[in-house]
Structure 1
Amino acid sequence: MSVNKKHLATFILGAAAGVAAHKYLQTEEGEKLLEDLKSKASNLKSEAEQAVDKGPEYFEELKTKGTDLLKTNFPDVEQFLKELFEKFKGNPSATDAAPTEPPTPTT
């Protein structure tokens, strides 16, 4: 691939932005900005680690409460879901009626 004027201009602008950012970060205000970013990143990291540690407990609680809520509000949902999964597997349960034959066309 050849380098054209557009690529060269993009490279020069990127380099100039890098130099300007470096100069800014060397000032007192820039160093203060870096310290703020470091402290925020550290806080975010510790919050993420805590969330990861609490994750399994949260999902276990969610599963338990969800199951209890479904059983309370929809008492027949467990049997319904079992029958539905059995139909998808192709294993008709004992509660299903015997299969019926399709109607024969009359002429």
Structure 2
Amino acid sequence: MPVVIVAHLMAKPGQEGLVEKVFREAVPEVHAERGCSRYSLHKKAGSDGHFVMVEKWDSEQDLQAHREGAVMARVGKALGAALEGPPDVVVLEALPAGEPGKGAL
């Protein structure tokens, strides 16, 4: 069963550029990981430091492998001091409605 994640990350003042750069560099590698259906970086409108990652994984096992993988280890090391705190991660359960493909991620 697919797993959808929304993760909010807050950059410390002055670290916004580093956070964006590190994630932009990591995205292509994550896209190549097994089970990655979506891994997309966003920034909250009107905010310099509030980043939102929207993810979709084919399975919980694929998500766990991503979390424990080399890319996330490198991202964590690069951003450890640049974030206000740990990401606020929300795991979503789809409630499909309406047209297939539009009613759920």
- Which TM bucket (shorter chain)? under 0.3
TM-score (normalised: structure 2) = 0.27
Higher relative contact order (CA 8 A, sep 6+): 2
TM-score (normalised: structure 1) = 0.26
Which structure would you say has the larger Rg?
1
Greater share of strand: 2
Greater share of helix: 1
